[in-house]
Amino acid sequence: MPATVTQSRPNAWPRASILNLGMLLPTSVSTARQHTAAMLSKWDLAHLTENAQIVVSELVTNALLHGAGPATVRLRANRESLLIEVWDALAAPPEPRQHVADADGGRGLEIVSALSDSWGYYSREDGKVVWALTGSRIATGG
């Protein structure tokens, strides 16, 4: 993960929330969406809610479909940006898939890319974290 996103100044992300989803169930996606909306409202970042909920949905769905075991959602924010991180126990990196135009699935990372300023992943001993940064385009006018 780029140092500018997660390892910048210690106070770069003064707001943080962790949602441990445990073993993933189909309801985990809606739980993560609701948690995201609640935290963004609390942090006065409600204007980011729609895109953030979609990104969280896609990342948690990918963990549900391709991950192994439990998952955790971590949200970190400053006054204008939101960093979404989803950990799962599968070490394999996320792989954007080719899909036909009318396919039922396979667009998750494409959607994350379209709705985020940037996204990526990093490996950990216990799996991987897929992250997406959103909101900084609004703040910078980009």
- Domain chopping of the chain, boundaries: 14-140
C-alpha span between 80 and 103 (Å, rounded):
35
Amino acid making up residue 28: S
CATH architecture for residues 14-140: 2-Layer Sandwich (3.30)
In whole angstroms, how large is the CA radius of gyration of the chain?
14
Choice between 133 and 94, residue whose per-residue pLDDT is larger: 133
Residue 28 in 3-state DSSP?
helix
**Distances from the Cα of 139 to the Cαs of 62, 73, 79, 135, in angstroms?**
28, 24, 9, 7
CB 96 within 8 A of CB 109: yes
C-alpha span between 139 and 123 (Å, rounded):
29
Residue 141: which pLDDT band, with cuts at 50, 70 and 90?
Answer: very low
Residue 18 in 3-state DSSP?
strand
Choice between 17 and 107, residue whose per-residue pLDDT is larger: 17
What integer pLDDT is reported at residue 34 of this predicted model? Answer: 98
Residue 104: which pLDDT band, with cuts at 50, 70 and 90?
Answer: low
CA 26 to chain centre: 17
What integer pLDDT is reported at residue 97 of this predicted model? Answer: 64
pTM: 0.85
Average pLDDT (20-39) is: 94
Angle, nearest 10°, between helix axes 49-66 and 108-115? 150
